Amino acid sequence: MTLPLSTDYSPMEAKLVDTIPTGDQWLYEPKWDGFRCLAFRDGDSVELMSKAGKPLTRYFPDVADALRAIAARKFVLDGEIVIVHGEALSFDDLLMRIHPAASRVKKLAAETPGTLIVFDLLVDARGKALVAEPFAERREALERFFAEEAHPARVRLSPATRDLEVVEKWMESVGSGLDGIVAKRADLAYQSGNRLGMQKMKQIRTADCVVGGFRYASKGKVVGSLLLGLYDDAGLLQHVGFTSNIPSRDKAEVTTTLEKLVEPPGFTGRAPGGPSRWSTERTGQWEPLATKLVVEVHYDYFDGDRFRHGTSFVRWRPDKAPKQCTLAQVAQESRSAAMLMK
């Protein structure tokens, strides 16, 4: 009797670094700008799971159908769901898929179908778990899997290389859906949930932050700024800065969403201060939120325990769990800055 396929896996994560690691032990891949996804196939059953462990299948029925078209009937793939828009990838189209109405999702799946770009094989076509095998062997197995089993147009094999000249060309192409490089230790097993064997380098500094509170604008009862937090090693949400460039057209809707989530304490570690010589009494006040929202921001510098300046709002990240937003994202930069002081 064949045992049912286990879905007890969590994605391997990457540590943000300033330079690409070099050496024979590293394999390199493009870093795709999409939704991280573990794909489980067991007979006719297909399940898609986000990096946060949340189900994605209902939002991407087109990707699930593409996986059912693969000859193999049992496997686990690690990859990234993307949507191609013209000659680029569209993260906005991905966000539109996270919609409660099944009819809306079905319409979007037909108009802007998704693609799963695959970069790791955790269970092969025979149902054998490969997570204990070194990545170099998993990569060879993945390439065989695509050669023998997987041919659907919307399930694609991500390129990988040891050639740093190729990596440099990828970095020159950053943008339009490619936002950096991922380096993986070829000699290590699959490192679920930690950052030991995988590093990433981005051209633009970004961080995923928890929205721990907000302030109203000085005029009108609409949101003026989102207050950002990152979790420390003790699990405390530390206030690290703010972002205020929320598009004007979205402020009313965002304000309504935020007001429904008002709930103390918001930040469980360092909290925003009150009024200062730069703020009015009203702008110094803030509303604490239940820690449910994650936002991606651009920043120029992280100094000590906070963003040195205000950040720029990039997008909401419903695919990320708040607990995944940790200070580890910016720890490397803090250390690099400290080195300059010596």
Catalytic sites, residue numbers: 31
Extract the tokens encoding 143.
């390439």
The torsion angles phi and psi of 104, rounded to 5 degrees, stand at -65, -45
| Dist. CA 296–CA 53, nearest whole Å | 19
Q: Is 80 helix (H, G, I), strand (E, B) or coil?
A: strand
Residue whose entry in the numeric block shows the structure tokens 């939120």: 289
| Dist. CA 191–CA 183, nearest whole Å | 13
Strands 312-316 and 223-231: unpaired
Sign of the CA dihedral with 195 first, then 157, 188, and 203 last:
negative
Q: How many residues does the chain have?
A: 342
Extract the tokens encoding 315.
């997008």
| Dist. CA 254–CA 246, nearest whole Å | 9
Neighbours of 33 (CB within 10 A): 19
Residue whose entry in the numeric block shows the structure tokens 């490192």: 191
CA distances for 205 relative to 297, 301, 330, angstroms: 8, 8, 9
Extract the tokens encoding 142.
């993945």
Q: How many CA atoms lie within 13 A of 32 on its CB side?
A: 26
Do 252 and 285 form a contact (C-beta atoms < 8 A)? no
